[in-house]
Structure 1
């Protein structure tokens, strides 16, 4: 990881990244407890790690990385994303949006607000995404 990414990730953790990563972790644990939610738990956990250290990584569709469609990128993935959106996605996206608005008030916070906006989009539709180095 580049030194700039390390610095940005440390600042990110201090000014709002840690509590949103915790939100993703809570969503992951709740989904795992239900047993039925295990596919969503895995996706939420992967994105919790990304929400903790977003600089130097990016989220892309899994079929773009592997070159082939799978269960998470096909119709079942869409159905899973709809269920996720109704159960947890909207409140995680709302948390990212509120944090982005607070950070966007300052000039220094604008890059962090932008990262929260990207995470808000992922919060709405996480199934079929994979985190890769930027």
Structure 2
């Protein structure tokens, strides 16, 4: 099912969002001081190209540097990339088949606005490490000891 969703996503929204992120990355790479923003744009662009089956988890060890980076990112280009996700999500929600894709687009807005201090991993890896926001299957209940 993930492959089908990813292929439909790629055709309807993923390619164009990827192009937008690559434009942002190229602009960030032109100015030497903004190279970390270009790296973040490439990382999110690849994620927006094929998003199903992967998730974003927080990195709790990141501190004030990632917060400052997120503020600068928002001011430089995060807001217009978020606007692209918003418009694409609304357009996708106008069709019945596009509703799940539109919802996925709305979820990508959070990643788009705050890329620093987060890591993109597979859903299986996120479940394995027990990341916040990811549903981890519960362990089977242990048998209670018998009363004697």
Q: Give the TM-score normalised by the residue count of structure 1.
A: 0.88
- Runs of 4+ deviating beyond 6 Å: none
Q: Which residue of 1 aligns with 2:12?
A: 15
Q: Out of 80, 99, 104, which is 1:110 matched to?
A: 99
Q: Distance in 2 between matches of 1:27 and 1:115?
A: 21
Q: Distance in 2 between matches of 1:30 and 1:92?
A: 13
Aligned length: 123
Q: Which residue of 1 aligns with 2:110?
A: 121
Give me the CA root mean square deviation: 0.9
> Using CA pairs below 8 Å that are at least 6 residues apart, which structure has the higher relative contact order?
1
Matched, 1:81 2:78: no
Q: Distance in 2 between matches of 1:59 and 1:29?
A: 23
Q: Distance in 2 between matches of 1:62 and 1:17?
A: 25
Secondary structure in structure 2 of the residue aligned to 1:36: helix
Q: Distance in 1 between matches of 2:118 and 2:25?
A: 15
Structure 2 gap ranges (5+): 124-148
Matched, 1:96 2:85: yes
Give the superposition deviation at 1:35.
Answer: 0.9
Give the superposition deviation at 1:62.
Answer: 2.5
Matched, 1:45 2:42: yes
The structure with the greater share of residues assigned to helix is 1
Matched, 1:61 2:58: yes
Deviations 1:21-77, CA, capped at 9 Å, x for gaps: 1111111111111110111111111111100000010111123xxxxx1xxx21011
